[in-house]
């Protein structure tokens, strides 16, 4: 294997920068004519896997699988295997964050060799960036990626993320910590950050040398054409994430793929 940063660079160059979400929300299940149960979850996930096999990155939202207990996790495990088998990078949107041995256990689940292990995982640093050390170290050892929440688009996040400490915002300090993890990287680093597409103020990303996951494009109001140069991010490092705008096209697999390709074309300039 090569580092996640290197694999991501190659995937984006070949398949575009779009990150497609698999978010089996109960309302979407019903809209697809499926039951809000484990069987409906599997049918939804199978259609997404088939439709998204030609894309660079797919992001399952773990909570919507977790809601069905062991049956949901079984579906998620199959999704991970199928997507990776098709050459797709899988980013688990798990937003894990804890301390000590608990964080180490989360790391073992998502960044080692468990059935849930993916190419990358999202993580919350709001118990202190240092609390992520077990995940960062294990991910590096296994050539996985970590996307650390920095500046999210939910209104409640601003109270914490825009607070000033030591002359910089908390969000900026998280970006700076992530940048420090990437200093020794040859090529794109494997520690990225999450920055909402709808924010009017974003951290300075010029020194990150890592990928930037940008949720909120489409249904939440983020405009693909407005993302270029976000926060000074280097060309080819932005990963716009789209879920509902594509998933509404289901359950027809061809329709899902067509809408996904249309969104990929809309953000293609970000890969350059």
- In this predicted model, what pLDDT tens digit does every residue of 28-48 receive, in sequence order? 999 999 999 999 999 999 999
**Residue of 15, 84, 95, 162 with catalytic role:** 95
Q: Inform me whether the pLDDT recorded for 221 exceeds 60.
A: no
Look at residue 167 and tell me whether its pLDDT is greater than 60.
yes
Span 161-178, average pLDDT: 95
| pLDDT exceeds cutoff 60 at 12 | yes
Q: Residue 151 contacts by C-beta under 8 Å, 6 or more apart in sequence?
A: 157, 161, 171, 193, 194, 195, 196, 199, 201, 202, 203
pTM score of the predicted model: 0.96
Per residue in 58-117, pLDDT tens?
999 999 999 999 999 999 999 999 999 999 999 999 999 999 999 999 999 999 999 999
Is omega for the bond preceding 251 within 30 degrees of 0, making it cis? yes
* Beta carbons within 8 Å of 55's beta carbon, 6+ residues apart: 15, 16, 18, 20, 88, 260, 264
pLDDT, residue 198, reads 85
Q: Which of 157, 158, 150, 92 is nearest to 124 (CA)?
A: 150
For 100, the token pair is 């000590």
Domain annotation for the chain: domains and CATH numbers: 4-271 (3.20.20.70)
Active site annotation includes 95: yes
């Amino acid at each position: 294997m090569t580092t996640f940063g290197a694999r991501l660079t190659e995937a984006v160059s070949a398949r575009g920068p779009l990150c497609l979400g698999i978010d089996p929300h109960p309302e979407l299940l019903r809209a697809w004519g499926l039951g809000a149960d484990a069987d409906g979850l599997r049918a939804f996930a199978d259609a997404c896997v088939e439709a998204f096999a030609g894309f660079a990155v797919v992001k399952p939202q773990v909570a919507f699988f977790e809601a069905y207990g062991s049956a949901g996790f079984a579906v998620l495990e199959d999704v991970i295997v199928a997507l990776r088998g098709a050459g797709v990078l899988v980013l688990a949107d798990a937003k894990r964050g804890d301390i000590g041995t608990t964080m180490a256990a989360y790391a073992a689940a998502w960044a080692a060799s468990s059935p849930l292990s993916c190419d990358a995982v999202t993580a919350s640093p709001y118990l202190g960036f240092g609390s992520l050390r077990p995940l960062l170290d294990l991910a590096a050892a296994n050539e996985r990626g970590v996307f650390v929440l920095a500046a999210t688009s939910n209104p409640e996040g601003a109270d914490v993320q825009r607070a000033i400490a030591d002359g910089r915002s908390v969000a900026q300090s998280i970006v700076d910590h992530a940048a420090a993890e990437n200093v020794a990287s040859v090529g794109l680093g494997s520690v990225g950050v999450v920055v909402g597409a709808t924010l009017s103020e974003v951290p300075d990303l010029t020194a990150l040398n890592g990928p930037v996951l940008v949720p909120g494009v489409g249904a939440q109001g983020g405009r693909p054409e407005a993302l270029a140069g976000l926060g000074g991010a280097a060309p080819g490092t932005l990963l716009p994430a789209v879920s509902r705008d594509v998933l509404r096209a289901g359950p027809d697999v061809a329709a899902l793929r067509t809408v996904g390709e249309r969104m990929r074309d809309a953000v293609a300039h970000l890969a350059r």
